[in-house]
């Protein structure tokens, strides 16, 4: 059997580490041919050694220079730097699948490059679709390339929709665990510290997405991602609280039938699906044990308690660059919260103000979308200054 050859952009983060577990479990089916990370070249060197990888990218200039000088990579390793290096890896002639899991929008250009080269794009960085969904999905169509979602909920939707014409879908609900504060009384939310926000009940993830899970901004970004991936209308995309994180989505058809996808709350499941699709073989981890499962609960989301979900839905309905503005405002606000500069409850206020003060036009091209993103960040930063001068 011919092995599927994988390029992994974002090899040292949480998705990257889980991908390596999948690759290690399926060395007979999958071969790692390229890896990249923002700056952790020491870890890249260890991965390159373990998986015998000869194409390595380091995004940050200083770290790239340090990696080159280190002698940590075996002779014959092609070491590339910057976004140009990531683009080169995304188009490696021998690669079949490119998994983009770099933080934020750094992966946008490499993702577009992979699609233009006709590669299968396994997409984990949700900001790429939030910022440029219109252009990314158009490029996939134009080049006949497939996007396989790696985000657990979207991967679940992909699985439920296989073989079902889109016209039959009434709506799709993504499940949300509710994050670190789902059982806190509302009056205590004002005192939440960065340390509190970083304790997620079910999933182990990076700091930004863990805060986004606590505010449900993550679910908001996922609804926008959902809309682009499956060509849905905003009103067809919803969320439901499900504290156990076992059911990842619910697809409701017009006839009232509903399909759900279940798996343990670990990223190795969607990653393996995206890399091996359509093949189904033994997973890297044990499946669900129904004899040990207590109950599956579902309850509606209280948008008063989670204003960022309401704002995300408003941005999605407004369309154009509004989702990108939502994302930019949220990124600026979460960074400030993690740095101790603003209180937890101010995150949604910064985003709401940024949306109110931004122009929500329909971007004609990618540079227009990127400039709206940059402008929204400037507006959000100005909101931080306002907040701090008032306190
Ligand atoms: Mg998710």
- The pLDDT tens digits for 292-307 are 877 999 999 999 999 9
Distance CA 389, CA 391 (A): 6
CB contact at 8 A, 90 and 107: no
pLDDT band at 207 (very low <50, low <70, confident <90, very high): confident
Measured in Å, residue 82 CA sits from the centre of ligand 1 at: 28
Q: Tell me: the pLDDT tens digits for 81-140? A: 999 999 999 999 999 999 999 987 889 999 999 999 999 999 998 899 999 999 999 999
Measured in Å, residue 177 CA sits from the centre of ligand 1 at: 10
CB under 5 Å of ion ligand 1: residues: 151-153
Say whether pLDDT at 34 is over 80.
Answer: yes
Q: Which residues, in sequence order, are bridge partners of residue 172?
A: 237, 251
What would the two tokens of residue 315 be?
């941005």
> Mean pLDDT, the chain, as a whole number?
94
Say whether pLDDT at 74 is over 70.
Answer: yes
Distance CA 359, CA 375 (A): 9
pLDDT the model gives residue 388? 74
Give the sheet arrangement for strand 258-262, strand by strand. Answer: 237-241, 169-176, 247-253, 258-262
Distance CA 69, CA 330 (A): 37
Say whether pLDDT at 200 is over 70.
Answer: no
Measured in Å, residue 147 CA sits from the centre of ligand 1 at: 16
Rounded average pLDDT over 62-77: 97
CB contact at 8 A, 14 and 205: yes
pLDDT the model gives residue 203? 67
Measured in Å, residue 222 CA sits from the centre of ligand 1 at: 7
Enumerate domains of the chain plus CATH numbers: 4-150 (3.40.50.720), 155-390 (1.10.1740.10)
- Terminus-to-terminus CA distance in the chain, angstroms? 64
Place of tokens 């279940």: 262
Measured in Å, residue 174 CA sits from the centre of ligand 1 at: 9
CA-wise closest residue to 32 among 52, 56, 9: 52
Q: Tell me the CB-side half-sphere exposure of residue 295, using CA atoms within 13 A.
A: 3
Measured in Å, residue 112 CA sits from the centre of ligand 1 at: 22
3-state secondary structure at position 168: helix
pLDDT the model gives residue 274? 98
């Amino acid at each position: 059997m011919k092995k599927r050859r994988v390029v992994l952009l974002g090899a040292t983060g949480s998705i990257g580490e889980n991908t390596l577990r999948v690759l290690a479990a399926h060395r007979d089916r999958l071969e790692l041919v390229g890896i990249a990370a923002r700056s952790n070249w020491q870890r890249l060197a260890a991965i390159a050694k373990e998986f015998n990888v000869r194409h390595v990218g380091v995004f940050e200039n200083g770290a790239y220079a340090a990696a080159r000088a280190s002698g940590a990579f075996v002779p014959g390793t092609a070491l590339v730097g910057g976004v140009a290096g990531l683009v080169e890896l995304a188009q490696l002639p021998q690669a079949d699948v490119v998994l983009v899991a770099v933080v934020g929008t750094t992966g946008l250009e490499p993702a577009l490059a992979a699609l233009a080269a006709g590669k299968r794009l396994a997409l984990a960085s949700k900001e790429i679709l939030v910022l440029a969904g219109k252009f990314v999905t158009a490029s996939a169509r134009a080049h006949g390339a497939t996007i396989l979602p790696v985000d657990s909920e979207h991967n679940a939707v992909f699985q439920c929709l296989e073989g079902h014409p889109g016209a039959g879908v009434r709506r799709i609900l993504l499940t949300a665990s509710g994050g670190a504060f789902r059982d806190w009384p509302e009056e205590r939310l004002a005192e939440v510290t960065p340390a509190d926000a970083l304790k997620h009940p079910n999933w182990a993830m990076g700091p930004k997405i863990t805060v986004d899970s606590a505010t449900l901004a993550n679910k908001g970004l996922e609804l926008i991602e959902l809309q682009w991936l499956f060509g849905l209308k905003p009103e067809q995309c919803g969320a439901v609280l499900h504290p156990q994180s076992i059911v990842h989505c619910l697809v409701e058809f017009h006839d009232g039938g509903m399909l759900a996808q279940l798996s343990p709350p670990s990223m190795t499941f969607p990653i393996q699906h995206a890399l091996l699709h359509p093949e189904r073989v033994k997973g890297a981890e044990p499946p669900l044990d129904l004899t040990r499962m207590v109950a599956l609960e579902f309850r509606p989301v209280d948008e008063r308690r989670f204003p960022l979900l309401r704002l995300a839905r408003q941005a999605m309905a407004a369309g154009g660059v509004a989702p990108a503005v939502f994302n930019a405002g949220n990124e600026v606000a979460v960074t400030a919260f993690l740095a101790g500069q603003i209180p937890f409850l101010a995150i949604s206020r910064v985003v709401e103000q940024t949306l109110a003060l931004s122009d929500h036009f329909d971007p004609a091209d990618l540079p227009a979308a990127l400039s709206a993103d940059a402008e929204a960040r400037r507006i959000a930063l100005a909101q931080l200054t306002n907040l701090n001068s008032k306190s």
